[in-house]
């Protein structure tokens, strides 16, 4: 079956530091890949997505590239802000009806 593995947190960084959150996946076909963000007490918001190999998703300074050869979709940001503190979920979808999530990575950014 499908699965998503992402690095455990929490990830603690100082403001303006570089962020990487690793995500690898296992799928039987050619999934679409997503990063969702959950701010404290809120629901999930789509951060970015990529629907085919070598696509790069980007939004609000975050980027992730769909790497089929390494089955990865690592999230990066060049300079984090305190407001980026949240839980980040990597997810995949085959056929688009449902999502398979990783366990989430908490990011804590200090001033």
Partner 1 sequence: NAGVTQTPKFQVLKTGQSMTLQCAQDMNHEYMSWYRQDPGMGLRLIHYSVGAGITDQGEVPNGYNVSRSTTEDFPLRLLSAAPSQTSVYFCASSSIHIDRGDGYTFGSGTRLTVV
Could you say which of 45, 79, 83, 110 contacts partner 1 (CB under 8 A)? 45
- Residues 89, 92: Cα–Cα separation, whole Å: 10
**Least distance between partner 1 and beta carbon 45 (Å):** 8
**Least distance between partner 1 and beta carbon 96 (Å):** 4
**Least distance between partner 1 and beta carbon 55 (Å):** 10
Enumerate residues 67-106 that contact partner 1 by CB under 8 A: 89, 93, 96-104
Q: Which is nearest to 77 in space by CA: 24, 35, 21, 37?
A: 21
Q: What is the DSSP letter of 72?
A: B
The site that binds partner 1 (CB under 8 A) totals a number of residues, namely 21
* 87 conformational bin, left if phi > 0, alpha if psi -120 to 50, beta if neither: beta
Could you say which of 19, 23, 37, 49 contacts partner 1 (CB under 8 A)? 49
Residue 46 binding partner 1, by CB under 8 A: yes
How many Cα neighbours within 13 Å face the side chain of 88?
30
- Residues 70, 53: Cα–Cα separation, whole Å: 11
Could you say which of 10, 42, 54, 60 contacts partner 1 (CB under 8 A)? 42
């Amino acid at each position: 079956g499908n699965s998503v593995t992402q690095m455990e947190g929490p990830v603690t960084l100082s403001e303006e530091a570089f962020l990487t959150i690793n995500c690898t996946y296992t799928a039987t076909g050619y999934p679409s890949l997503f990063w969702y963000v959950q701010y404290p007490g809120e629901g999930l918001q789509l951060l970015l997505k990529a629907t085919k190999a070598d696509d790069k998703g980007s939004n609000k300074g975050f980027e992730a590239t769909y790497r089929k050869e390494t089955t990865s979709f690592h999230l990066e940001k060049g300079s984090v802000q305190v407001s980026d503190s949240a839980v980040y979920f990597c997810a995949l979808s085959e056929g688009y009806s449902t999502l398979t999530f990783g366990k989430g990575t908490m990011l804590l950014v200090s001033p």
